[in-house]
């Protein structure tokens, strides 16, 4: 398997794993949980069913429904694109986009006030109140003449940083909320963001709280040493933590500028962490430095030597994931605790097909061919 193909597979698995961020059932306190393999299979399948139900809840929630109505997405196409472009472009009357681009800074205080959209004339008007916020008022749908959307930029702070000898002003804090009919459906609170002082500045601390009703996402990232970074993502619904992705990434050196100029994979030393949803969790570790130091054509044995993913349910190990050569193709198999194994596509293929049907208005057809189970 070529390195670039392996990178694609790893990224794909990571994105599929992040589908678990949507929700979770409340956990039972059960420290004596023991199962047969047949029960483990059912638990995994039920977890995928639960994930799908939660994606449905997110899609049908107030936030995504409002966005869908605003852009009018059909079969992967934004029907209201021209209307949205007009709204954004007309703001140039008061917000000089070229000035922001040329100076690489958004001057928050010079733009405070209330901006109101006129659906008849398709123009904006501005008042100078309030003097500490930026408020945009506009319709929630194209054929709605009422400005029932209120988008408020409550605060904004930035920091002067350097990237490859070019200077920018990047946010250190930002607080935004969006209401429709006086009901808040989206809230973004980015705080305590800081950057290292060097000729190639990178974020060294990030704290973001994002509410996309009915879900809340918390993102934290920080530089623990010059070569080690920690990232954590949590999702909660009604105060119950649903999903956690926690990972530590170590790089071979602190030459950040070359890190982004060259092949990023060659600069990663190791990746460790855990993805968990409900009672299902995947602790993982990857010796990336040794893996990518191998020849371009990688074997399943080499991949399994340097990538280790375990499968736990209710804090008990139920299996391992490993690559196998299946009909001249590398695929991921689960090795259960009794030594039996099967292709993981028995869990995810139907899930992906259902997901395509659910999201087809947003993405268009995926043109996937269902594989026969092995």
Integer-rounded Cα Rg, in Å, for the chain is: 24
Which of 170, 196, 222 delimits the end of a domain? 196
CA dist 91 and 116 (Å) reads 10
Local structure of 54: helix, strand or coil = helix
What's the distance, CA 111 to chain centroid? 30
Do residues 251 and 218 lie in contact, with contact meaning Cβ atoms separated by under 8 Å? no
In the predicted structure, residue 74 carries a pLDDT above the cut 90: no
* Together in a domain, 300 and 248: yes
What pLDDT is attached to residue 116? 98
Choose between 200 and 139: higher pLDDT: 139
Share of the chain above pLDDT 70, in %: 87
* Together in a domain, 145 and 50: no
First to last CA, the chain: 21
In terms of residue numbers, what domain contains 160?
65-196
Provide the residue count of the chain. Answer: 374
* Together in a domain, 94 and 8: no
* Together in a domain, 139 and 235: no
CA dist 284 and 308 (Å) reads 6
* Together in a domain, 177 and 125: yes
What pLDDT is attached to residue 165? 74
In the predicted structure, residue 30 carries a pLDDT above the cut 90: no
Nearest Cα to Cα of residue 309 among 273, 357, 352, 266: 273
pLDDT tens readout for residues 81-129:
999 999 999 999 999 888 888 889 999 999 999 999 999 999 999 999 9
* Together in a domain, 167 and 293: no
* Together in a domain, 56 and 69: no
Mean per-residue pLDDT of the chain: 86
| Domain count for the chain | 2
In the predicted structure, residue 283 carries a pLDDT above the cut 80: yes
In the predicted structure, residue 26 carries a pLDDT above the cut 80: no
What pLDDT is attached to residue 13? 44
Burial 245-281 (b: 16+ CB within 10 A, else e): bbbebbbeeeebeebeeeeeeebbbbbebebbbbbbb
What pLDDT is attached to residue 154? 98
Give the CA count within 13 Å in the CB-facing half-sphere of 185: 19
In the predicted structure, residue 368 carries a pLDDT above the cut 50: yes
Share of the chain above pLDDT 90, in %: 57
In the predicted structure, residue 164 carries a pLDDT above the cut 90: no
Mean pLDDT confidence for 24-50: 74
CA dist 135 and 127 (Å) reads 10
Mean pLDDT confidence for 315-324: 95
Structure tokens, 263: 């092949």
Task: List CB contacts of 42: < 8 A, sequence separation 6 or more.
Answer: none
Choose between 92 and 200: higher pLDDT: 92
CA dist 208 and 191 (Å) reads 6
* Together in a domain, 221 and 257: yes
Phi/psi for 360 (5° steps) reads -60, -30
């Amino acid at each position: 398997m070529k390195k670039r193909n392996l990178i694609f597979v790893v990224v794909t698995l990571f994105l599929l794993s992040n589908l678990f961020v949507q929700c979770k059932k409340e956990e039972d306190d059960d420290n004596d949980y023991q199962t047969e393999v047949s029960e483990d299979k059912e638990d995994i399948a039920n977890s995928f069913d639960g994930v799908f139900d939660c994606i449905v809840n997110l899609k049908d929630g107030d936030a995504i429904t409002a966005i869908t109505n605003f852009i009018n997405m059909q079969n992967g196409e934004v029907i209201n694109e021209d209307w949205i472009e007009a709204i954004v472009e007309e703001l140039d009357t008061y917000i000089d986009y070229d000035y922001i681009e040329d100076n690489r800074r958004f001057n928050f205080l010079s733009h405070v006030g209330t901006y109101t959209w006129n659906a008849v004339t398709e123009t904006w008007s501005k008042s100078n109140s309030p003097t500490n916020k930026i408020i945009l008022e506009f319709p929630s749908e194209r054929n709605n003449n009422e400005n029932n959307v209120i988008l408020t930029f409550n605060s904004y702070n930035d920091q002067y940083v350097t990237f490859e000898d070019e200077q920018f002003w990047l946010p250190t804090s930002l607080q935004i909320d969006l209401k429709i009919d006086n009901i808040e459906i989206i809230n973004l609170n980015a705080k305590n963001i800081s950057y290292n002082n060097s000729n190639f500045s990178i974020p060294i601390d990030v704290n973001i709280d994002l509410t996309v009703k009915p879900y809340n996402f918390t993102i934290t990232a920080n530089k623990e040493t010059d070569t080690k970074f920690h990232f954590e993502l949590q999702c909660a619904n009604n105060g119950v933590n649903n999903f956690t992705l926690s990972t530590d990434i170590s790089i071979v050196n602190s030459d950040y500028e070359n890190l982004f100029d060259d092949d990023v994979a060659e600069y990663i030393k190791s990746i460790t962490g855990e993805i968990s949803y409900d009672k299902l969790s995947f602790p993982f570790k990857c010796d990336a430095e040794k893996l990518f130091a191998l020849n371009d054509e990688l074997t399943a044995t080499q991949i399994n030597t340097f990538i280790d993913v375990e499968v736990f349910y209710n804090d008990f190990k139920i299996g391992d994931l490993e690559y196998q050569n299946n009909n001249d193709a590398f695929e991921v198999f689960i090795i259960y605790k009794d030594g039996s194994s099967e292709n993981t596509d028995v869990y995810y293929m139907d899930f992906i097909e259902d997901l395509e049907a659910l999201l087809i208005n947003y993405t268009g057809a995926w043109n996937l061919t269902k594989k026969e189970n092995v």
